[in-house]
Structure 1
Amino acid sequence: MPAVVPRSGVSPEARRSLRQLLGDVDRSLTVAFREGEDASALARRRSEIVDRIVVHAWGACLGDMAAGALFAVGGFGRGMLFPASDVDLLALVAETSPALHRALESFFGCLWDIGLKPGHAVRTVEQCRELAASDASVFTSLLDARRLAGWPILAESLRGILDDPALWPPRQYLAARLAERDARHARYDDTAQNLEPNLKDGPGGLRTLDALRWLGRRLADAPDFDDMVAEGLLEPVEATKLARAEETLRRYRYALHVEAGRAEERLLFDYQRGLAKQLGFEDEHAKNLGVEQFMQGYYRAATQIERSGTQLVERFEEMLDPATEALPVGTDYVRHGSRISLRNPQLFVRRPASLVEIFIARLDEPGITGFTAETMRRIQHAVSLHGESLADDPQVLCAFLALLRRGAPAVEALWRMNRHGLLAAILPAFGKVVGRMQYDLFHVYTVDEHTLRVLRNVARFADPAARRDFPIACEIWPHVEKPELMLLAALFHDIAKGRGGDHSMLGEEDARAFCARLGLPQDDIDLVAWLVRQHLLMSTTAQRQDITDPDVVHRFGATVGDWEHLDHLYLLTIADIIGTSPKLWNAWKDRLLADLYTSTRFALRSDLTPPAHAGMRLRETRERALGMLVAEHVAADDIASVWAEFPDLSFLRHRPEQIAWQTAAILRARGATPLVEVHPFSVRGSTELFIYTPDRDGLFATVTAMLDRLRFSVVEARILVSSTGKALDTFLLLESESQAPASLQRAEELRSRMLRALDQPAGQGPPKRSLSRHLRHFQMTPRIEFVDAGERTQLALVCTDRPGLLAAVAQALAEAEVRVHDARIATFGERVEDFFQLTDRSNAPLSPQRREILRECLLRHIGFENPRNSLNADANA
C-alpha cells in the first residue's frame, strides 16, 4: 500500500482567504434568505461550497493519500448545511501511522481556523464495523456517509458494512430506532407542543424526518419519501404534507441560526418575537399576536410530522409482520392479529359514521392495538373527502355521542381521532386551535395539546389507582351519570382561544350549538354551556378570595346552584389546572380546592341559608379549639389568659386547629418573645409559620425578606395585632422551587433564622436577584388598584412575577408607612395577582395622598424606573 505523503498544508495566507470566502458566502446567503429565497436551496448551496473548501484543505494537507478517505456524515452527508451547523466528517483509514495522524491534525486544525466547526472521527474499517455492530446510532450515521475525497475503495468497504445482513436486520433496527425515539421524546415531555420546542430533536422535529428516511432505507430500500410512495408506504398526498412541513421547519431553523448567530436548535423566547418579525408575521389583535401565529406554524408542522411519522412506523411494523387470518369483528370490520380493518373497502365513503364507529370497535375488541396500514390510509382519504361536512352529519354526530358516552375509555379514542385529523373535522372549531399557543409562561402547551391533556386528566378520575392522588375526584366520578357532558365541557372549555373577546363566553356559544346538533336535552346543554362559561370560577375563587369567609363560600355556592354543577366544576377545575402545566398542581392547591368544594357542599346541603352571624362563627371556633386544648390537658384559665389578647378576627379567620396550635405555643414560651413556631405540614398541604412578637412598623417587610432569602413562597398571610400590642402573624408557605411543604430540617432552619432576624432592630432588605431568562420576555406594566373595604383599604396588585417580588412589595409598603393586615398571594405562570388589606399607621383607611405615595413606592421597588409613565399606562389599562 502506498505510503502517506503529507503536503505542506494550507498556508496562513490561504487560510485567511478561505475564511474570508466563507464569511462572504454566509453573508450573501443570509441576504438571500431575508429576501425570500428557499431555505433548503440555500442550505444545499452552503453544503456545496463547504464541500469544495473541505476537499481543497484535504488535498493541501494530505495530498494523494492512498491510505484513507474522507466522508461527509450527518446533515453534511445529506448535503444540507444550515448557517451554524457543524460540519460532520469521518476519516476512514486503512491503517494508522504517526505521519497520517499529523496530516489529519493539520487538516482538522485548518478547518477550525477558517471558521468551520468540524465534528470528526478517525476510524479504521474494522473499528467502524465493530462500532456499527454494537451501536445502532453509529450504524445509522454511516447511512448518510458521502465520500468527499481519498481512496475510493474505502467507500466500497463502508458499503460492505451497511449491506451486511447480519448487522441490524430490519426488526432489530426498527426496535432500536423506536427505543432511541422514545428516549429522545421523553426529554421533551413526549410532546411537540412545548413553549420552547427543539425543532431538531423534539417530537415532530427534523430528526423525526431523518429517522423515517433511515427506516425507509433499511427496511424497504426506500431512502426518501418519493421512494416510499412507490413502495406503497406513503400516499402522494401524505408525502406532499411531509415535504411542506419539512420546508417550514427548515425555514424556521435557517432563520433561527441567523437570529441566534450560532447553532441554536431551540425556539427560545429570546428569539421567538424576532423570528416572527423576520418571517413576516404581524399582530392581528391582542389575542392573536404575530409571535403566536409564527409558533402555530411550527406546531402545525411538527404535529403533521409526528402524526404521519406514527402512521408510517405502524406501516413498517405491519410490513415486517404480515397479516394473519382475518377474523370478523361485528358486521363491518375484521381483525388481522392485533390490527383491525374494513370488511368493505368503501365503507368510510358510503357511511361516514363508520369513521367514528371503527374507533369504538377498536375500544370494544380485546387485544386490538391499531389499524392496518390500508385502513389508516382509507381514514385519511375519507376525512379529506368528507371534510367539515362530518360536523353536520346526523349519523356521524350520533356515533360521536355514542363514543363520548363510553366515558373515560373514550378519551384514548379521541386522542387517536385527533392524530388522524378526524376530531378537527367533526369539531371545526377545534381545528382552529390546533397549534394555537398562548405567549405566556402559564400555558405551557398549545390549546389543542392542553385540551387533550385535560381529557386524559378527567379519565384518570375513573381509575381506582388515582384515588391516592385525587380522593375527592375519584369519589365523585362514579356518581357522574352522564360522563359525556364532562368530556364535552373539557373539549370546549378553551376552544375559542385566539379569536379575540372572552373565550369562555365564545366557547359557551360553540358548546351550545354543538350540543344542540348532538340532540342533547336542554338541561344537559345548559350544564355543558355553564361549565364552559364558568370553568375558571372555582380556581379564581379559591386563589383570589378568602374561602374561610362564609360570605365568599355563600356567593360561590349561589353561583354554582346545586351539587351536580359543583361536582362537574370541581372535576373540570382540577383537570384544567394539571393540564395547563405540570408545575401548577401542588398540595396547597389540592387542599384549597378541596376545602372550597366541601364548604360549598355543606352550604348547598343547608339550602344556601345566609352565612352564620360572625358571633356564632366566633363561638364555634372558640369551642372547638378549647376542646382540643383541654384534651391535651391545658388549663382552662391559661387558655383564657391567652385568648384575652386575641382579636375576634383570629377566631373568624383561623381554623380551630390553628388557634389551638398558636395558643399552646404562646403558653410554652411563658412570655418570651419573639416567638417563632413552624408547622412543616399544616393547613392545606402548606407549611405554617406563626410569629408572636411586639408589633412594630416594618415587621412584614422583615419577615418577607427572610422568607425570600430562604426561598419560601408565601401563599397566604394573616397579619393581626393582639390587645397587648403583639403581632399575631401567620404565613402559609411552600418551597419556592418544588412548591412542596418544608421538610423537618428546613422547618427548623426557618425557625432559627427567623428568630435571629426578629431579634435585630431593623431587618435586612431582600437580596437583589436578576430576572430569569424566561421572565425577561414577559414583562407587563403593573396594575395597581385601591378599593375601599370598610375600615381598611384593599390593594390589588397585578404584575409580572420575579424573584423576591413579595419582599420588594413589603419594602414598598414599609417605605410608604402602610400597615398590612391580610394578604392573598396568587401566581399564574409569569403573572402575579396579590391582594392586601391595608391601613395607615393610625389604623385608618389610606387617604388619596397615601395611596399615591404607595403607588409610586410600589412601582419603584418592583422594578419600574419611571413610575409616572407606568402610572399613565395603568390608568389606560
Structure 2
Amino acid sequence: MTDGAAANVPAAGSPPTAPDTAWASDARARLAQADADGAARFDRNDDIDALLRARAVAVDTLVREAWAHCLPADAPLALFAVGGYGRGELYPQSDIDLLVLAEPDAQAAHADALAQFFALLWDAGLPVGHAVRSSAECTAAAAADITVLTALSEARPLRADASAQRALADAIDARHTWPPHDYFVAKREEQRTRHARFGDTADNLEPNLKEGPGGLRDIQTLRWMALRVLGARDPQGMIALGQLGADEYATLERERRALARLRFGLHLVAQRREERLRFDHQKTLAARLGHVDTADNLAVEQMMQGFYRSAAVVLRINDRLLQRFEEQLEGEAVAEPIDAAFELRRGYLAARDADWPALDAASIFDLFATWSAQPRVRGLHSRTARALAEALPAIPAYTAATPALRAKFVALLRGPQAVDTVARMARLGVLARWLPAFAQVSGRMQFDLFHVFTVDQHTLAVLRNIAGFASGTPDERFAIAHEVYPRLRKPELLLLAGLFHDIAKGRGGDHSELGAVDAREFCSAHGLSDADTDIVAWLVRKHLLMSVTAQKQDISDQDVIHRFAREVADRERLDLLYLLTCADIAGTSPKLWNAWKDRLLADLHTATRLALRRGLENPVAAADRIAEARAAAEEALRGFGVEGDEANALFATMPDETFLRGRPDQIAWQAAVLRGARAGTARVSARTLNAQGAARIGALEVFVHSPDRDGLFAAIIATLDRAGLAIQQARLFDGPDGHVFDTFEVLPAEGQRTVAAEDVERRLSTALAAPDLDTIKPARRNQPRHLRHFRIAPQVEFADAADGRTLLSLVCTDRPGLLADVTQVFRAQRLRVHDARIATFGARAEDVFKLTDERDHALDPAHRESLRAALIACFEGDSR
C-alpha cells in the first residue's frame, strides 16, 4: 500500500458519516483483495512466513489509516499490535489484537475517538480484540493474568514513540510481575492443563492445530519462556546461549512452518476462524495442499500423517527445552552415578560420557536397558536426548544388525518395563530405525471413526493394555484377563504379536497376512525358535479371528465353537489370542470396549477351552447339551427359591433353544421371571448385565416374554431407542403357546444417561400393553455431524437359513436410531423377525436378521427386492 492510497481517508475527528462508510467499504475491498492475493500465493506454494507477514502488513496499513482518521496526531496515546498480530503473524481469519497505551486522563479525553476507531475497524471487516490501559493498568492486568503478560510481551508498535515503547516494556518487566521462575512454572502448568484437554495426545481424529499437543501454541510457549527466562528474543539467541542446538532449531522451524501452512490452509477452506482440523475440512484441505489419493493411501491420510509426525517432533523438542529452562533456573544438579556409563541428574537419565553414544547402537540399547531398571527416572536428560536424536542414523535396521545387537533388543523385550521400553523407543525415533516397517505406520491415520488413533499410537495402546494384564492387578474392564495372563509360557510372544498385528496397514493387500510375513522374518532374525516364531506369525495373521467370531457369529452354537476351536488348535494359542483380542479392541477406541464385548470374548474363551479339553473329535450332541444346561440352570434356580416340580414346570414353558444357546444363570433368571405369569399377558424384566464393569457403564440385559403378534419386535426396539439405549445383541426365540422369549443386551447410547432397570421395565410394559403396536414409533434425530463424512455404501444381501427362513445381512453407516428405523421398514413390509445379531464397528453397522413373511414363509425373490429397495431408501434418507 502506497502513501498516496491513504489520501482519501477522511480528516481526523470528523463525525462517523458518509466518509466513514466510504472508507470502511474501500478498506473491506482492499482487505478482500489482499486475502485473495494471499490465497493465490498459498496455492502457488509461496513461503508461509511471507504470507503471514503480508497479511499483517496489509492489516497494519488499514489500522494506521483508521487511527489517523479518528485520533489527532498529537493525542498522548500509543497503539500497539499484541499477541500473534504483534509477532507479525496473521492468518486469514485471525483476530486483530490491539493495545492502546494511555494514562487515565488521556483515555477519558479521547474515549469517543477511540470508540469510533474500534467501530471503524469492525466496519472494515477486521475482528478486533482491544484493550485501553495505562502503564500501571498493564502491570496489574499482567500480574492478574499470565496470558495478558504473554500477549503484551509480543507488543509491536503501530503508532508509538520510543518513550511509549519503554513505558510498556517497563510495565511488564520481571521486576514488577512474574519473575522468570514463576513464569516458567505457570506456563509449564498451563501447557500441561491444555494438553490434558486433548487427552495428552496429538493423535486425535480432529486435532487442534493451534492449542493441541505438538501444535503451534507449544512452539510459541517455548518462545515466550525463552524471552522471560533467558532474555532471548529469537531462537538464534538461544543458540548463542547454548540452550538450543542449530540442528534442533532447524528441525523446530521446519515443523513450525509445516503446521503454519496447515493452519493457513484451514482458515482458507473453512472461511472462518477455525483451529480444529475437523472432518468437514480435511479432504478439501488435503486436495488444496496438493495431496492425491493413491491405491493404498488416501490424500487426507497423507496430510494427516504429516501433521502427526510434525506434532510428535515438536513434543520431543518441547520436552528437551522445558528441561533446559528448568536447569537454567535451578542450576545443574549433582550427578548420581548409576554405573560406568549412566547417571541421574535431577532424576533424569544422562550419559556420563560427553561423546556418548559415539555412533554405537549397542550403547543406545544399553541406555534403554538402564532406563528400564531404574524406576526413579523422570525421563531422559535433555542433552542425552539430543545426542540420541543426532545418533539415530547410526542405528541399523534389524536386518543389517549383528546377532549381538539383536540379542540386546530381545533382552529389552524380556526385561522389566518391556512395554514402557518399546514406547520410549517409539517416541524417541529408535524403534522406527530398528524396525523400518514401524516407521511406515508412524503417524498413519485411517480415515474412519473405528480407528481413533494413528496406527503407531494404537499399537502402543495395545501394548499398554498387555502391560496391564501383566501387572497382576485385575482390571474391571476385562473379566478373565488377569486369570489367563499368568498361564503364558513366554509373555514376550504376546508383546511381539501386539507390535506386529497392524504393522502392514496401508501397504495394500491383507495387512494380517503381510504382517505375519514381517513377524516371521523378525522373529527368525532375532533367534526365536521355529515353534515360537510360528505362534507369533499365527497370532498376527489371525488377530481378527476371535473378534469376528464373537461379534458376528452365534457363539452359543456348538458348531461355531467347534470350528473356532479347530482354528485355534491348542490352549496356548487360545490364551494368547484372547489377550491380544481384548488388548486390540480396547486399544482401538475408548468407546469401543464395553461389558458386552468383554463377556462375549470371555464366553468364547471358556467355551473353546472346554471344547479343547473334551477333544475336537468328541463334539457334544444337542440332547446332551440341553441336559447339561438344564441341570446347571436348575441348580442356579435354587437361588431364586425355586426347585423340584416348580422348576420343571417353568422349564416346560421355555423353548429348547433356550437351553441350547442360553447361559445357565440367564435361563434361571428368565425362569424365575415367568413365575406367576398369566397367559396372554406380557412379562418384562431387566437386570444389570452379568459382566465386570457392566453396572458402571449402565449395561443391561432385558427379557421380554409376550404373546407373539405382528409388530412386536419393532415396538420393543422403538421403545428401547426412545429410552436412550443402544442394542448390542438380540436373541429371539419362539416358545410354546405362541409366546416369544426375547432377550436384549443394551447400553446407554452415546451421550445418554444411564437408564435404571426399573425404568426400562416400566416403559416396555406400558408399550406392550398398547392395543395397537404400530403407534409406537422411534424418536427422530438429526444425523451427527461427523457421520456425514463416513458414508458407507449400503450392502443388502439375502441367503437361505438352514431352518427354511431368510437371512438378511445388512452393512451400512451406523447412526443413532438406525436399528429402530430398520425394524420400522420390516414392519411396513409385514415381516416377522426371528433372530438378530447386531454389530457396530465405528461408523459401520453390520447386522444379520432371520426373517419370514406373515405366514412364516421364507421371502420370495419379489419380496426380497422390495425389502432391499425399502432399506436403501431408508439409508439414503440418513442425511436428514
The normalised TM-score by structure 1 is: 0.93
Map of 1:735-814 to 2, 5 A cutoff?
Answer: 735-737=748-750, 742-744=755-757, 746-756=759-769, 758-791=770-803, 792-814=805-827
Q: Distance in 2 between matches of 1:350 and 1:75?
A: 41
Give deviations 1:256-275, integer Å, cap 9, x for gaps: 11111101111111011111
Q: Distance in 1 between matches of 2:660 and 2:857?
A: 21
- Larger deviation, residues 658-667 vs 245-254: 658-667
1:229 CA displacement: 2.5
Would you say the 8 A contact 1:630–1:636 is kept in 2?
Answer: no
Map of 1:573-722 to 2, 5 A cutoff?
Answer: 573-629=581-637, 632-634=640-642, 636-671=644-679, 673-682=681-690, 685=694, 686-722=699-735
Amino acid aligned to 1:769: R
Would you say the 8 A contact 1:318–1:373 is kept in 2?
Answer: no
- Larger deviation, residues 204-213 vs 839-848: 839-848
- Larger deviation, residues 216-225 vs 521-530: 216-225
Give deviations 1:783-818, integer Å, cap 9, x for gaps: 122222212222211111012111121122223333
In structure 1, the residue matched to 2:5 is: none
Q: Distance in 2 between matches of 1:435 and 1:605?
A: 43
In the alignment, structure 1 segments of 5+ residues that lack a partner are 867-877
Would you say the 8 A contact 2:806–2:850 is kept in 1?
Answer: yes
Tell me: CA distance 1:832–1:61, structure 2 relative to 1, closer, same or farther (3 Å).
same
Q: Distance in 2 between matches of 1:27 and 1:130?
A: 41
Q: Distance in 1 between matches of 2:773 and 2:577?
A: 49
Amino acid aligned to 1:778: F
Would you say the 8 A contact 2:223–2:234 is kept in 1?
Answer: yes
In structure 2, the residue matched to 1:289 is: 298
Q: Aligned to 1:310, what secondary structure does the other structure show?
A: helix
> Which of residues 307, 316, 327 is equivalent to 1:318?
327
Map of 1:302-317 to 2, 5 A cutoff?
Answer: 302-317=311-326
In structure 1, the residue matched to 2:153 is: 143
Amino acid aligned to 1:300: R
**Does the alignment pair 1:92 with 2:101?**
yes
Would you say the 8 A contact 1:690–1:731 is kept in 2?
Answer: yes
1:773 CA displacement: 0.6
1:290 CA displacement: 1.0
Amino acid aligned to 1:825: I
**Does the alignment pair 1:488 with 2:496?**
yes
Q: Aligned to 1:668, what secondary structure does the other structure show?
A: coil
> Which of residues 167, 171, 194 is equivalent to 1:184?
194
**Does the alignment pair 1:819 with 2:827?**
no
Tell me: CA distance 1:487–1:171, structure 2 relative to 1, closer, same or farther (3 Å).
farther
In structure 2, the residue matched to 1:201 is: 211
In structure 2, the residue matched to 1:226 is: 236
**Does the alignment pair 1:370 with 2:382?**
no
**Does the alignment pair 1:240 with 2:250?**
yes
Map of 1:386-405 to 2, 5 A cutoff?
Answer: 386=395, 388=397, 392-405=401-414
1:591 CA displacement: 1.7
CA RMSD of aligned residues (A): 2.4
Amino acid aligned to 1:36: N
Would you say the 8 A contact 2:715–2:767 is kept in 1?
Answer: no
Q: Aligned to 1:676, what secondary structure does the other structure show?
A: strand
Would you say the 8 A contact 2:479–2:598 is kept in 1?
Answer: no
Would you say the 8 A contact 1:711–1:735 is kept in 2?
Answer: yes
Would you say the 8 A contact 2:634–2:643 is kept in 1?
Answer: no
Q: Distance in 1 between matches of 2:91 and 2:257?
A: 13
Would you say the 8 A contact 2:686–2:757 is kept in 1?
Answer: no
1:90 CA displacement: 1.5
**Does the alignment pair 1:74 with 2:86?**
no
**Does the alignment pair 1:841 with 2:854?**
yes
Give deviations 1:104-155, integer Å, cap 9, x for gaps: 2111111111100001122221121122223322221121111211454232
Tell me: CA distance 1:446–1:699, structure 2 relative to 1, closer, same or farther (3 Å).
same
Amino acid aligned to 1:767: A
Tell me: CA distance 1:630–1:350, structure 2 relative to 1, closer, same or farther (3 Å).
closer
Q: Distance in 2 between matches of 1:625 and 1:282?
A: 60
1:641 CA displacement: 4.6
> Which of residues 347, 351, 367 is equivalent to 1:358?
367
The normalised TM-score by structure 2 is: 0.93
Give deviations 1:31-59, integer Å, cap 9, x for gaps: 22223222321111010110111111112
1:539 CA displacement: 1.4
- Larger deviation, residues 672-681 vs 105-114: 672-681
Q: Distance in 2 between matches of 1:670 and 1:764?
A: 24
Would you say the 8 A contact 1:704–1:806 is kept in 2?
Answer: yes
Amino acid aligned to 2:293: D
Q: Distance in 2 between matches of 1:526 and 1:384?
A: 32
Q: Aligned to 1:571, what secondary structure does the other structure show?
A: helix
> Which of residues 195, 218, 227 is equivalent to 1:217?
227
> Which of residues 708, 733, 738 is equivalent to 1:725?
738
Q: Distance in 2 between matches of 1:147 and 1:663?
A: 82
Q: Aligned to 1:429, what secondary structure does the other structure show?
A: helix
Q: Distance in 1 between matches of 2:798 and 2:443?
A: 39
In structure 2, the residue matched to 1:853 is: 866
Would you say the 8 A contact 1:527–1:565 is kept in 2?
Answer: yes
In structure 1, the residue matched to 2:68 is: 59
Q: Distance in 1 between matches of 2:561 and 2:413?
A: 33
Tell me: CA distance 1:444–1:630, structure 2 relative to 1, closer, same or farther (3 Å).
closer
Q: Aligned to 2:531, what secondary structure does the other structure show?
A: helix
In structure 1, the residue matched to 2:559 is: 551
Would you say the 8 A contact 1:390–1:425 is kept in 2?
Answer: no
| Equivalences, count | 859
Amino acid aligned to 1:839: T
1:611 CA displacement: 3.0
Would you say the 8 A contact 1:229–1:236 is kept in 2?
Answer: yes
> Which of residues 503, 512, 515 is equivalent to 1:507?
515
Q: Distance in 2 between matches of 1:845 and 1:516?
A: 54
In structure 2, the residue matched to 1:418 is: 426
Tell me: CA distance 1:482–1:799, structure 2 relative to 1, closer, same or farther (3 Å).
same
Tell me: CA distance 1:390–1:52, structure 2 relative to 1, closer, same or farther (3 Å).
farther
In structure 2, the residue matched to 1:21 is: 30
Tell me: CA distance 1:417–1:37, structure 2 relative to 1, closer, same or farther (3 Å).
same
Amino acid aligned to 2:157: R
Q: Aligned to 1:762, what secondary structure does the other structure show?
A: helix
Q: Distance in 1 between matches of 2:308 and 2:86?
A: 27
1:350 CA displacement: 5.1
- Larger deviation, residues 460-469 vs 719-728: 460-469
Q: Distance in 2 between matches of 1:582 and 1:692?
A: 35
Q: Aligned to 2:620, what secondary structure does the other structure show?
A: coil
Would you say the 8 A contact 1:677–1:751 is kept in 2?
Answer: no
Tell me: CA distance 1:308–1:393, structure 2 relative to 1, closer, same or farther (3 Å).
farther
